[in-house]
Every structure is written in C-alpha cells, then in structure tokens.
Amino acid sequence: MAGAFDFAPVIVLLPFLSFVVSLAAGKYLPKGGAFGGIAATAGSLAVSAWVFLTVSQGNVYNETLYTWVAGGETSLSFGLLLDPLAAMMLLIVCLVSMLVHVFSLGYMNDEGETGLPRYYAGLGLFTASMLGFVVADNLLMAFMFFELVGLCSYLLIGFWFRQDGPPSAAKKAFLVTRFGDYFFLVGVVAVFATFGTAKFAGEGAFPVLAEEALHGSAEAVRTFGFAPETWFTIVGLLILGGVVGKSAQFPLHTWLPDAMEGPTPVSALIHAATMVAAGVYLVARMYGFYALSPTALGIIALVGGFTALFAATMGVVKKEIKQVLAYSTISQYGYMMLGLGAGGYVAASFHLLTHAFFKALLFLGAGSVIIAMHHDENMWNMGGLKDRMPVTYYTFLSGSLALAGIVPFAGFWSKDEVLYEALVHGLGGSPLLLAGYAMGLVAVFFTGFYTFRMVFLTFHGEPRSETARDPHDVRWNVKGPLVVLGILAATIGFVNMVPVQDLTGIHLEYLHDWLAHGEISALTAEHYSELLHDYAHYTSADVASYVAGAVSLALALAGAGAAHVLYNVPDPDEHTEKLGAVKTLWYNNYYQDEYQVWIAQSLVLPIARVADTFDQGVVDGVVNGVSSVSLFAGSRIRRIQTGVVTNYAVLLSLGLTALLVVFGLVGGWFA
Amino acid sequence: MVPVQWYLLLAAAVFCIGLFGILTRKNALLFLMSVELMLNAANINLVAFSAYWGNVTGQTFSLFTMALAAAEVAVGIGIILVLYRNFEDVDVTAATEMRW
C-alpha cells in the first residue's frame, strides 16, 4: 500500500529541487525563484501534514533507505525515522519555511535586492537539510545534515558579502558552531565504536543497547575500560558539544547575536525557528540515551538554566530590535535545555513548538518594522509605530506576549511547563535542577522586561525620528505570514494546558498524548519517564502545576509592568544607564567575545605555534631527511650516465665478463 | 677437414677486434664497421657448428643475421648522418647531450 511514508522522502527532496532550480535557472525565473521555493515548501508542508495524520493513527516509520557503506560489523546508511516527534517538527519547519519564503517577497524582492537566486537557493538548501536532519534515522546521517545546516547558515548570514559585517559574522557563526560540532563528530565515532550502530530506534538501536548494558545484559557494548554509566555520560557530553554550539548555549552562544547581520527572514528561519532548534531536537531525538545518565542531564539543565538567565540579562540593554530578539532566542533555547535536563521531554518539545512560531513571528515582525524604518534597526529611532502599522503591531504584540509568557499566549503554557518540570524534579532530590529552576525563574522577570521594553520603544510613545513619523508601507506578502503566525502564537499553547487540566479536571494535555503514543515504545514519552525514574533516579515532588504557573506568570507580569512604567511614556529615557557598570557589562555581553578572542590569541595561538614548529621541524624533518638520502645518492649515481657511447660499451662488456666469471665460478668451469 | 676449433679461434679473434674497435675508436663509421665484425664473428660460429653437426639450421640462421646486419647498417648510417648534421662531426664522444 502506498501510504504517506512512501512519499516521505519527497519532503526533503522538494526544497532541494528548489535549491537546484534557483541556483541553475533563478536568473530566468520571475522573482528570482521565489515561487519555486514557496511551491516546494508548500508541497513539503502538504506531505508533512499527510505524514502527521498517518503518524496520528499510531504508525511509526523506521526504515533504512540506502546503505552507502556496507561493512561487516558496521554499515553506514541513510534512512527515515518518522515518529510523533519528527512529524511535529516537520510541520514546524515546513510551515515556518514557507512563511519565510512568502515574507522574503516583501523583504528582499520589494526592496530591490540583487542576488536573489542565490538567496532563494540558500533558503531551499537550508530547508532541505533541516528536514533531512529531522527525519534522520541514525546519528551519522543527522550529523551530516547538521553540518549542511551550518553551511547554509554561513551562506545566508553572509548574503550581503560586499559589506564588512556579514562575512565576518558568517565566518564566526560557522567557526563557533564547528567548534561544537567537532565534539559531536568525536561523539558519533564514539557511538559507533561503543555500539557498532548509530540508529536512533528499532531493533539494536544504540539507546536500547545502552539501556541493556546498564542492565548488564548486552555483550556487544565496548566501554573502553570505563563503567558503562561513566562512558555513556562521556559520549553524551561529547554529542552535547554539537548541541551547545548549534543551539547557542553558553559558552558557544556568541555567534548568534552577530548572525543578525544576515537578512531578517533568514534570522527568522535559521536563528529562531529551525537551525537553532536542531540542537535541542537532537537531544530530544536521542532522549532515550540521555535519560540514562543523570550527570549529563544535570549538566544540560544547568547549562540551559544559566544560559536562559545569562542571555536574558544581556537582552535588557540592547538598542537594536534584532539584538534583543537574538538574546531572547538564546534565552528561550536555554529554557528548552533546562526542560530536557529536568526530565521534561514533553515540556521541552512543547516549548520548541511554541517558540518556533512566536519567535519566527517576532523576527518577521521586526523585519516588517525594519522595512518601515528603511533598514534602521535602532529602537531609539522608532516609537509610535503602533498607529502607523497596526497589523504588524498586533501580531508583534501577540508574539511578545507569548515570549514574555503571559497567559493565555503560547509561551506561557510551554515555559511554565518547563519550569514546573524543573521544580518538581528538583524538589524530588536534584539540587542541580533546583539551581536551574531558580535561574530560569529569575530569567522570566528579565524576559518580561526586555520584551515589553522592546514593544514600548518600537511601537508606543512619540516617533523619535523622521522615518518613524512616516514609515514605509508593507504589503500583503509581509502581513500575511505575520497574521498566520500571530494567530498561531496566540493559540498553539492550547494543545497542552496542564495547569488548567489540573485545576478543572478537563483533559487538555494533547501534546502529552501525542508524544506518548507510537508503535516503537522506546521512543515514547512514557518510556522516557520510566528511564528517568529507573536510571536517572528522578522523582517528582508534589507541587500543584497552577501554583508554579502562577509564580512565573507573576514574575513575567512584574517584568512587563516594570517595562510599562519605565518605557510606555511619550518620550522614554535610557533608564538602563542608571545601572552603571552593570549596563556596561551587559551591553558588552559580559565581555564574552573579548575573552574568547583572548583564549584564541593567548592560549590557542601559542599552542598552535608549538604544534606548527613540531610539524615543520620534527615531522617534516624526518620526511625530508629520508628523502635527502635518496637525493644525495641519486646525485652521485647519475654520474655514470656520461653520454659517451664508448663508456656504455665498456660497462656492457665488463658486465658481460663479470657475469661469465660468476657463472664460471658457480658452474665449476675452473675447477 | 679443418677442425672446428680453428673456426672458433678465428671467430673469437674477429669478435675481439670488433670489440676493441668499439672500445677505442671515436669515429662513428668505425663503430659501424666494428659492429659488423662482431656480427660476422657470430656468423662464423654458426656456420662452423652447422658444418660440424651436418645440420643446415645454423647456416639458415646466419642468413637472417646478415639481413639483420644490413638493416642495422641502414639505421646506423641514418644516425650517423643526423649526428653529422648536428655536430659537424662523426665523433661519438662529441654527442654527450643525453647524460645527467
């Protein structure tokens, strides 16, 4: 029977086709190939929806499609794994990508940009690689698409390569994420070396083998002399390196704010909704592996909680609208990591879902503002845009309410659930999680503050520049995606209203149900919670979810209220100046860039010099020494080639004579 | 009938004269002649053994050798002509371009 699963490869291939077409023939197509991209992503979206429906009937697809290295023990292959998590992510990526393509018509085409075929080719390739990553059925395939995603981000951030900023930002993004990916690569090799397979699910998948090894029943697992728990933690942390890089977690978050140099739709697609999501998605994808290691989970939670707070504080003082959004992105991904580390698999996936929509919305809204402001991103030159661009304002407001976590917008439900998971498991006996929870809770206040500082500075008060008084118009292709995402940002949270369920008893946790079912029981949320209980020893304290929700809502409202008091006035001041040294510290991003440059120049460079000297001196010296023997011998021996025929004749005769003498001696003629 | 040893001695003498010519002379034409001497020394051996064993195979073979020698002379003369054209001389020690 030809079902949705047989057509699943089309989801990845359509955007790839759009990439090829835009690149090869974009010049001859109307709008630089935009319509091809829209059609391709719409097609992918349709097939994804079909897959989603098929998965909702309880089917899971886990097939190897093509084996490109068939070894005895280990084989490397491409395959598809379509389970509820992947189906959900496919919908997110396809929908956001399609809306970004439409928005690009307004942001790039209408603004008269050049190089559009390159732009749409980049978008197509990016979408294809992200989708490939989502459907990957093994870790190596995931890694390959992970790298492709990084490459596309490099190409798209550096789209305006004639200016100074974008190429440098693109290089930075590529190098910083590559630094994390290096650990990921080592982790992939470690997984192969340990388990002999890198499949995520099914018979003999590596999380299953790891679980059996902890039972003490699997022989095929090599742990290189470590106890299995220790070794699995090491492997998990290695893979986490790639996650930290891609999902912009501390300390590898520095690339993301700089990546705002790229076109704004690209920021929406890559740095908000999808590429950065790849890291978190990877952890969720192999959650059955991470759930076995309480240490790895604790580190994930701590890094996440810290990043959430750390980035939120920096977002408070930024002047550019996209910078605020960039730091909010880092902060929100911190929440997802906190959720995953705290054992909230569903909570983190939920936040991934809601964040993808409201952050894409906010970036596209910012893009709309930037069009209106003739590409001025400084919020201090804006103000009063509320009446001049109402569609952008109300959709942006919807996204902001979701980001700040104000009930009933999407972000409230998901962020609250993340914090709730951290709280109950923390009180259940994990102080690390409590630390993460505390940081996440403080970050809620900052989030509310910086979000509404941004809203008030941009849209409220009096216009503070000529451009803000008479902004550029935006067309349907900008407003359409905003409206779609604005509605989603307001409503998508309703799929999982745990506090309301606890309060009223009405069944409302559809996302829990969604992730809890599926043919492969090892991939379900239920199985993960068993693992967390048995191996990570997570126990839940009894806290009512609505109490936790009320606390975070109160903090978010306090933050938003503070912003209202300070900035919702006709002519706001730069109140953050009063923070003095703290503001300087935040504005300079805690000198993260400086210290990373310092590490590179003062520590890594000398080491690299020593390595270079070793390479040039010792390694090359040995090789050159060996070859110099040949060279010297050759230069001497070639002298017998005199070019005089007589000499050759002499040598020939002497050789013949010598041969005869030898034969004679051996043959005994002279005896 | 002359014993076969005498033929062999004659052939060895002719061969040594040819070899001596090749090792000591500089003139390319003399080279060619010396080579002819060496080839004919071999022919003498072939014919002598042919007569000794009463078998005509050796004589037939010497006919081939003569044809070969004629061909070799044709090639050799050609080389000498080119040599002369390039070096204005037929001295083999002058043409030493093909060395290290």
B22 vs A638, A641, A649: nearest CB: A649
Question: β-strands A61-70, A75-82: how paired?
Answer: antiparallel
Residue of B nearest to A647 (CA): B23
Cβ contacts from A onto B, under 8 A: 29
B96 vs A639, A643, A650: nearest CB: A643
Could B100 and A650 be called an inter-chain contact, meaning their C-beta atoms sit closer than 8 Å? no
Ramachandran angles phi, psi of A527, nearest 5°:
-65, -40
Closest CA to B22 of A402, A286, A651: A651
Counting beta carbons within 10 angstroms of the beta carbon of residue A182, is it exposed (0 to 12), middle (13 to 18) or buried (19 or more)?
middle
With respect to residue B52, please indicate whether it lies within any of the assigned structural domains: yes
With respect to residue B74, please indicate whether it lies within any of the assigned structural domains: yes
Ramachandran angles phi, psi of A68, nearest 5°:
-100, -15
Contact A345, A515 (CB under 8 A): yes
Of chain A, the end-to-end C-alpha distance in Å amounts to 92
With respect to residue B48, please indicate whether it lies within any of the assigned structural domains: yes
Q: Which tokens go with A437?
A: 């929870």
Name the one residue in this structure whose structure tokens are 């190098």: A175
With respect to residue B7, please indicate whether it lies within any of the assigned structural domains: no
Q: Which tokens go with A426?
A: 């923390």
**Would an 8 Å CB–CB cutoff place B42 in contact with chain A?**
no
Q: Which of B30, B79, B87, B99 to mutate to test binding with chain A, by most A CBs within 10 Å of its CB?
A: B99
Q: Grade residue B19 by pLDDT with cuts at 50, 70 and 90.
A: very high
Q: Grade residue B100 by pLDDT with cuts at 50, 70 and 90.
A: low
Nearest CA distance, B76 vs chain A (angstrom): 14
With respect to residue B67, please indicate whether it lies within any of the assigned structural domains: yes
Q: Could you tell me the CATH number of the domain that includes residue B78?
A: 1.10.287.3510
Quote the CA–CA distance of A82 and A76 in Å, as a whole number. 19
- The per-residue DSSP string of B30-98 comes to HHHHHHHHHHHHHHHHHHHHHHHHT-THHHHHHHHHHHHHHHHHHHHHHHHHHHHHHHSS-BTTT---S
Q: What sign for the dihedral angle of Cα A593, A595, A601, A605?
A: negative
Of B55 and A670, the one with more pLDDT: B55
**Would an 8 Å CB–CB cutoff place A638 in contact with chain B?**
yes
Q: Which domain holds residue B72?
A: 27-91
Instruction: Give the burial string for A542-575 (b: 16+ CB within 10 Å, else e).
Output: eeebbebbebbbebbbebbebbbebbbeeebeee
Counting beta carbons within 10 angstroms of the beta carbon of residue A667, is it exposed (0 to 12), middle (13 to 18) or buried (19 or more)?
exposed
Q: Which of B20, B32, B37, B93 to mutate to test binding with chain A, by most A CBs within 10 Å of its CB?
A: B93
Residues 6+ apart with CB under 8 A from A530: none
Residue of B nearest to A639 (CA): B100
Q: What is the DSSP letter of A29?
A: S
Contact A91, A107 (CB under 8 A): no
Please list the ranges in chain A whose pLDDT falls under 50: 1
Could B31 and A645 be called an inter-chain contact, meaning their C-beta atoms sit closer than 8 Å? yes
Instruction: Please name the helix (run of DSSP H) or strand (run of DSSP E) that holds residue A473, with its range, or none.
Output: none
**Would an 8 Å CB–CB cutoff place A646 in contact with chain B?**
yes
Q: Which tokens go with B34?
A: 């010396």
| Cβ neighbours around A46 below 10 Å, total | 15
Name the one residue in this structure whose structure tokens are 């980049």: A122
Q: What pLDDT was estimated at residue A573?
A: 74
With respect to residue B2, please indicate whether it lies within any of the assigned structural domains: no
Could A646 and B23 be called an inter-chain contact, meaning their C-beta atoms sit closer than 8 Å? yes
What is the domain count for chain B? 1
Name the one residue in this structure whose structure tokens are 């890291």: A279
Could A641 and B99 be called an inter-chain contact, meaning their C-beta atoms sit closer than 8 Å? yes
Q: What pLDDT was estimated at residue B17?
A: 95
Ramachandran angles phi, psi of A66, nearest 5°:
-150, 125
Q: Which tokens go with A55?
A: 């998965």
How far, CA to CA in Å, does B27 sit from each of A151, B13, B39?
Answer: 73, 22, 19
Q: What is the DSSP letter of A405?
A: T
Side chain identity, residue A611: A
∠ CA A649-A652-A657, nearest 5°, is 125
Q: What sign for the dihedral angle of Cα A513, A514, A518, A523?
A: negative
Q: What pLDDT was estimated at residue A74?
A: 77
Of chain B, the end-to-end C-alpha distance in Å amounts to 54
Quote the CA–CA distance of A21 and A668 in Å, as a whole number. 83
With respect to residue B99, please indicate whether it lies within any of the assigned structural domains: no
Contact A539, A385 (CB under 8 A): no
How far, CA to CA in Å, does A610 sit from each of A613, A614, A616, A617?
Answer: 5, 6, 10, 10
Q: What is the pLDDT of residues A532-591, one digit of tens each?
A: 888 877 877 777 778 888 888 888 898 888 888 888 877 777 777 777 777 787 777 778
Q: What pLDDT was estimated at residue A1?
A: 43
- List CB contacts (< 8 A) between A638 and chain B: 100
With respect to residue B98, please indicate whether it lies within any of the assigned structural domains: no
Mean of pLDDT values over B60-83:
93
Q: What pLDDT was estimated at residue A220?
A: 65
Name the one residue in this structure whose structure tokens are 């991003």: A589
